[in-house]
Structure 1
Amino acid sequence: MATVSSSLLQVVLLLAATVIAVPLFKRLGLGSVLGYLIAGIAIGPYGLQLFSNISTIFHISELGVVMFLFIIGLEMKPSYLWALRKQIFVVGGLQVLTGGTLLTFVGIGFGANWQVAFVCAAGFVLTSTAMVTSIIRERNELNTPSGQKIISILLFQDLMIVPLLFVISQLSPTKIKSTVPLWESIGIGIACIAILIVSGLWLLNPLFKKLARYQARDIMTAAALLVVLGSGMLLEFAGLSMAMGAFLAGVLLSESSFRHQLEADIEPFRGLLLGLFFVSIGMSLNLNLVQKYWYLLLTGVLALMFTNMLVVYSIARLTKSSHKEAFNRAFIMNQGGEFAFVLYTSALSFGIINDQENGLMTAAIVISMAFTPIFLRLKTWIFDKKAPKQTQETPTIDEQHEIILVGVGRFGQIIRQMLWTSGYQRTTIIDIDQDLINSLAHFGVKTYFGDATRPELLRIAGIEKARLLIVAINNPQHTNAIVAFAKSVNPNLKIVARSYDRIHTYHLYNLGVEKIVRETFDSAVLSGQHALELLGTELETAQEISQLYSKLNRQGMKATAALYDSSIKMFNNKALNAEAKAQEQKMFEAIQELIASKKLLKEENED
């Protein structure tokens, strides 16, 4: 009987645990992250003991965070990132400094000396980049103003890892002297960032253009992984984080024509490895330590989390965020982060903390991550249900392309796909269906939430400079409002609009729309062609009849549109009805002439 490899068995068990836990916790409204954490706890060395050595899994899974930051970078132009500089340095700086100070006092209040309390605070103040970005991505808030502010703060926190590691090294009771001077470490960091920027601006785009000529998808995927891992490794060498390197690489490629392709290539690896990352975090929770010191951990974690929430809320309000935005941010950014493990390991090696303190601090970080989705769910139950429902805030549309597509449902999806496959990938897409937007995000289709009948949204989307507007929604009144405003601010704008029926078509012609597509017209014409074929008409003749009918019908619609008067019922409009009858007679004569000519040609060929 064949034996099963133990490593293969572990992979199967790992996948089984996630497949069971993640859908369950999502069904409960607690999000996928908590599902991954619980799966890790269950199968880890302190649970069912199906895995013993988790360090290898953790190091591999860290690549999920790296790839996630690369994808976020792809969605941020350098100009937009520059516009966020105040958020990055002012809000991020205030949050880290204030939070670090108050959290240190919390640690002292629990009986730790100030050095140990500082180390604990340093790890807790660096919010989990992986968890927070996963949460706001699941809530489809990455491209909203509040989501962008959170990303800005996370970027500053990632930058703080280097100075915090330096401070921890200086707290060492043994005063271990670094072999590399501080100025040299800073110089190496700046040099590596400069190399990455130069490579991104002048080398990466030519590289992908050259590879695209070979039309080998696997090579493009390999190149995408090379860019992500190479940039991460470069900044890790500089003493910064791999995630920061990948993010910068993504930003530098955000305006590349290969951006969507890169995102599609990286996405499968990102999702799998990021899930594995949270599983490995769950595995690291020492349940024996939790059981022994449960009261200390519970009270300590709650004290740290509520202090963090107070700081986040206060800084947000101080920097002029609304109460709702500040409150929401406090519930999302209340946990410790994955960089805490790096800081605690460093502090342990320098003799600042002992093994037990390291274990307790690590457990506190993991527990805070597990509590965050629960707190968010409680917030929804207690606060959000009481508050009146409001529409989602208008997103910041950071990409003003020459093509704007409004509506990406069953009609608009086909248009988007045709444009994308024809090379027109830089299209600003707007829709009001949040569930649809979430679904499209899984396929890498970036869609902005918003009501396009609002003039300010169209202005943000760049309607005044756009070349083409496509309105593919199925609401005639909204279509008319969008078209009317678009034409008023950009008279030279070309418009393709979806028409609901004949009357709506008349309205659109009178608004100056160049191309009008009646939503059932082409499918009805094709059905008529098939009917002719089944009745014995030759395929070529049926196709020509179909084409001629379409051409004459469109011409007739323009003629009758000029006679349409909304104050008169259509069937009471004598002039319009007379023109419609004349157009139908003209169409009959033209098609009969076509059929007669085809018959004559066939008879001549037979003779």
Structure 2
Amino acid sequence: MTGFLILAFLILLAGVVAVPLATRFGLGSVLGYLLAGMAISPLLSALRVNVEALQSFAEFGVVMMLFIIGLELEPKKLWAMRRRLIGLGGGQVVLTTLVLAGIVLAYGVRWETALAIGMILAVSSTAIVLQSLEEKGMLKSDGGEASFSVLLMQDVAVIPMLAILPLLAVGGVGTGAASAGHGDELNLVANLPTWLSGVVTLAAIGLVVFVGAYLVRPVFRFIAMAQLRELFTAVALVFVIGIALLMSFVGLSPALGTFLAGVVLANSEYRHELESDIGPFKGLLLGVFFITVGAGINFPLAMEHFGEVLFWAALLITAKIAVLLVIARFAGIRRQMAWLFALSLAQAGEFAFVLISFAVGNRVFGQDTADMLLLVVSLTMLTTPLLFILYDKVIARAYCGGKEPVADAIDEENPVIVAGRGRVGGIVARMLQAAGFAITVIDYDSEHLELVRKLGYRTYFGDATRPDLLHAAGINHARLLVVALDEREQIDKLVKYAVANCPNLHVLARAKDRNHVYELWSYGCRDIVRETYDSSLRMGRSAFEALGIDHQQAMAMSDAFEEMDRTSMREVANLYDANVPPSRNEPLLAKVRELRQEWDPVLRAQMEDIIHRTR
């Protein structure tokens, strides 16, 4: 028990210290976890911790991550992705395998070994790529969706790879187990005829679909009767673990099985409940997985063959980027999205550890080759966050053109300046123009502006946070600045500048959430609109009407709630401290509790009075 507590303490402490520091310096959480693992590697060795066994356990975080991603994909959307899955994903696996095998073959390695190495290194890291894309909000972009399609197809491709690898053994005959590198695992189809193995596998997939479609809802309704939150969490874990176990029994990827279950449940009313219950476990296990990757690096061997490992890692990343850029061109992925697609998938993946172990067990190559491959895979995984930084700092800014885009020259000064013409700013701009106000609109999305201009709207291309551009637009003489940018950091930067340098300017700012309202208030902005607030009020109003309250009553009740919320929010905003997280700001928390005790009974009385008054 003591040994387990020491291990848990070390891993959690390393993550808690390293991740905030890495995030603070713009390195991302994934690189923080990897560095944390490298830092505690000597301690784990001294404690004789089996890092590989710990990594196998932590890989369940990948399984949970694919389940949650599946919950976000409706079956119709997945069907719509079929061309990308087969074209992008299948093309990437086959072409990358052949290119890498050709490179290895050129160094005098036998073709069977070269082909095995090509297959192993063709697969990218699902965990690192999806986590990084999700953190940066790029998973839904064209490049992010293309990357997801390839990663999903790679998970499927691991299955035929496990069948092919034993055929590449010395002498053509493999001797290892037929499972994914874990000979002690129970595999129900290992000794069955091929046709019967296929039937059992299809039956297992059908069972997953049946459970997701017909059993989950009744089970959750039954659990809801107990009104215990922990039971929901337990059932969610049982559901995910059970499906992963079933997939392992039939020799399939547990991640693939849980992803399929997530897709089946994408339209379920319990989708958000499942996400909230599984999310914390997913995040924690993924963090432990990345730490074990960092801790599993063989540093003595890496130092002894540093130049060789560095060469092969660089060659692997370069070759995969080249292949991915070619595939992106044929798939119609252009400009910075093509680079996002190529850079995000340039590493080897966590499945490589499983495939390497499986190949050694089946005598495809020796342990010396396996050790070198493990170092190359680990180094490329460590490099991935740096490639994302390269994309953010260089490629995205240059729009793949090699230089910073030139902003439009603004040749007019209007009383209203709108920064950002996206989902929010576009509607505001149209309303103002419809009312006859002269406005100057600035936006940094060149592709979106091209469409807007074709529709007849005059918009200037440029970074609205740049002081020189704001002065060219006449900010010193303007009456109103509407800040409708998408990025929170850009909103903060522009609001700070405008409030500090233009005291007579009315600043109307878009806020991402409640805490962002407090932050903008602390900068001196006094006209702030939460981007989802009005739609939430409208949904609440519709909920009242759905419960039998007439339209006028629902409007009055919604207005009462809005007035209370705005008044209390101003009081709380005055206690906000940008240097202290809201969860640790005791004066702010105390004020919220005080206002709830004061306002909740008043609001309830107002609501009841409205209902009785109109009856």
- Report the TM-score range of the alignment, normalised by the length of the smaller protein: 0.5 to 0.7
One-letter identity of the residue aligned with 2:135: E
Pick one of 7, 10, 13 that aligns with 1:13: 10
Counterpart in the other structure of 1:66: 63
Give the Cα–Cα distance (whole angstroms) in 2 for the partners of residues 548 and 210 of structure 1: 33
Pick one of 260, 263, 267 that aligns with 1:255: 267
Aligned positions of 1:428-443 closer than 5 A:
433-435=486-488
Give the Cα–Cα distance (whole angstroms) in 2 for the partners of residues 123 and 78 of structure 1: 30
Give the Cα–Cα distance (whole angstroms) in 2 for the partners of residues 324 and 544 of structure 1: 52
Change beyond 3 A, Cα 1:183–1:343: farther
Counterpart in the other structure of 1:348: 360
Pick one of 165, 169, 185 that aligns with 1:168: 165
Counterpart in the other structure of 1:335: 347
One-letter identity of the residue aligned with 1:305: I
Indicate whether 1:376 and 2:388 are aligned. Answer: yes
Give the Cα–Cα distance (whole angstroms) in 2 for the partners of residues 127 and 48 of structure 1: 28
Counterpart in the other structure of 2:300: 288
Indicate whether 1:277 and 2:289 are aligned. Answer: yes
Partner of 1:309: helix, strand, or coil?
helix
| CA-to-aligned-CA distance 1:71-105 (integer Å, 9 cap, x gap) | 11111111111111111111111111111100111
Change beyond 3 A, Cα 1:135–1:17: same
Change beyond 3 A, Cα 1:145–1:496: farther
User: Unmatched 5+ residue regions in structure 2?
Assistant: 179-190, 399-403, 406-442, 449-483, 491-509, 511-526, 543-551, 570-598
One-letter identity of the residue aligned with 2:151: L
| CA-to-aligned-CA distance 1:425-478 (integer Å, 9 cap, x gap) | xxxxxx9654499xxxxxxxxxxxxxxx9xxxxxxxxxxxxxxxxxxx9569x9
| CA-to-aligned-CA distance 1:233-268 (integer Å, 9 cap, x gap) | 111222111111111111111111111111111111
Change beyond 3 A, Cα 1:393–1:76: farther
Aligned positions of 1:407-446 closer than 5 A:
433-435=486-488
Indicate whether 1:245 and 2:257 are aligned. Answer: yes
Pick one of 14, 27, 43 that aligns with 1:30: 27
One-letter identity of the residue aligned with 1:31: G
| CA-to-aligned-CA distance 1:156-175 (integer Å, 9 cap, x gap) | 11001111111111112241
**1:370, CA displacement in angstroms?**
0.4
Pick one of 305, 308, 330 that aligns with 2:320: 308
**1:384, CA displacement in angstroms?**
3.2
Give the Cα–Cα distance (whole angstroms) in 2 for the partners of residues 524 and 373 of structure 1: 41
Counterpart in the other structure of 2:515: none
Change beyond 3 A, Cα 1:143–1:393: farther
One-letter identity of the residue aligned with 2:8: V
Aligned positions of 1:34-49 closer than 5 A:
34-44=31-41, 49=46
User: Unmatched 5+ residue regions in structure 1?
Assistant: 395-430, 438-452, 454-472, 484-492, 498-508, 528-538, 556-607
| CA-to-aligned-CA distance 1:468-517 (integer Å, 9 cap, x gap) | xxxxx9569x99xx99xxxxxxxxx99979xxxxxxxxxxx9xxx99984
Change beyond 3 A, Cα 1:525–1:265: closer
**1:114, CA displacement in angstroms?**
2.1
Counterpart in the other structure of 1:196: 208
| CA-to-aligned-CA distance 1:552-598 (integer Å, 9 cap, x gap) | xxx9xxxxxxxxxxxxxxxxxxxxxxxxxxxxxxxxxxxxxxxxxxx
Partner of 1:102: helix, strand, or coil?
helix
Say if 1:123 and 1:344, in contact at 8 Å, map to a contact too.
yes
Counterpart in the other structure of 2:104: 107
Counterpart in the other structure of 1:205: 217
Partner of 2:138: helix, strand, or coil?
coil
Say if 2:113 and 2:168, in contact at 8 Å, map to a contact too.
no
Change beyond 3 A, Cα 1:204–1:496: closer
Give the Cα–Cα distance (whole angstroms) in 1 for the partners of residues 20 and 540 of structure 2: 43
Give the Cα–Cα distance (whole angstroms) in 1 for the partners of residues 52 and 270 of structure 2: 35
**1:47, CA displacement in angstroms?**
7.7
Counterpart in the other structure of 2:579: none
Give the Cα–Cα distance (whole angstroms) in 2 for the partners of residues 160 and 264 of structure 1: 30
Give the Cα–Cα distance (whole angstroms) in 1 for the partners of residues 336 and 287 of structure 2: 30
Give the Cα–Cα distance (whole angstroms) in 2 for the partners of residues 393 and 19 of structure 1: 40
Give the Cα–Cα distance (whole angstroms) in 2 for the partners of residues 342 and 107 of structure 1: 20
One-letter identity of the residue aligned with 1:342: V
Pick one of 215, 233, 239 that aligns with 1:227: 239
Counterpart in the other structure of 1:577: none
**1:214, CA displacement in angstroms?**
1.9
Change beyond 3 A, Cα 1:101–1:215: same
Give the Cα–Cα distance (whole angstroms) in 2 for the partners of residues 340 and 154 of structure 1: 13
Pick one of 132, 142, 145 that aligns with 2:139: 142
**1:111, CA displacement in angstroms?**
3.9
Counterpart in the other structure of 2:333: 321
Change beyond 3 A, Cα 1:78–1:218: same
TM-score norm. by structure 2 comes to 0.65
**1:107, CA displacement in angstroms?**
1.7
Say if 2:166 and 2:364, in contact at 8 Å, map to a contact too.
no
**1:382, CA displacement in angstroms?**
3.0
Counterpart in the other structure of 2:78: 81
Change beyond 3 A, Cα 1:523–1:287: closer
**1:199, CA displacement in angstroms?**
1.5
Pick one of 52, 55, 70 that aligns with 2:52: 55
Partner of 1:278: helix, strand, or coil?
helix
Counterpart in the other structure of 1:565: none
Give the Cα–Cα distance (whole angstroms) in 2 for the partners of residues 352 and 494 of structure 1: 60
Give the Cα–Cα distance (whole angstroms) in 2 for the partners of residues 8 and 543 of structure 1: 48
Give the Cα–Cα distance (whole angstroms) in 2 for the partners of residues 367 and 309 of structure 1: 16
Change beyond 3 A, Cα 1:164–1:49: same
Say if 2:144 and 2:340, in contact at 8 Å, map to a contact too.
no
Give the Cα–Cα distance (whole angstroms) in 1 for the partners of residues 16 and 446 of structure 2: 31
Pick one of 142, 149, 153 that aligns with 1:156: 153
Change beyond 3 A, Cα 1:219–1:289: same
Say if 2:67 and 2:259, in contact at 8 Å, map to a contact too.
yes
Counterpart in the other structure of 2:472: none
Give the Cα–Cα distance (whole angstroms) in 2 for the partners of residues 231 and 27 of structure 1: 38
Give the Cα–Cα distance (whole angstroms) in 1 for the partners of residues 242 and 528 of structure 2: 47
Say if 1:41 and 1:47, in contact at 8 Å, map to a contact too.
no
Counterpart in the other structure of 2:311: 299
**1:549, CA displacement in angstroms?**
12
Counterpart in the other structure of 2:409: none
One-letter identity of the residue aligned with 2:355: L
Change beyond 3 A, Cα 1:176–1:10: closer
Say if 1:119 and 1:343, in contact at 8 Å, map to a contact too.
no
Say if 2:146 and 2:341, in contact at 8 Å, map to a contact too.
no
**1:385, CA displacement in angstroms?**
3.6
TM-score norm. by structure 1 comes to 0.65
**What is the percentage of aligned positions where both structures have the same residue?**
32
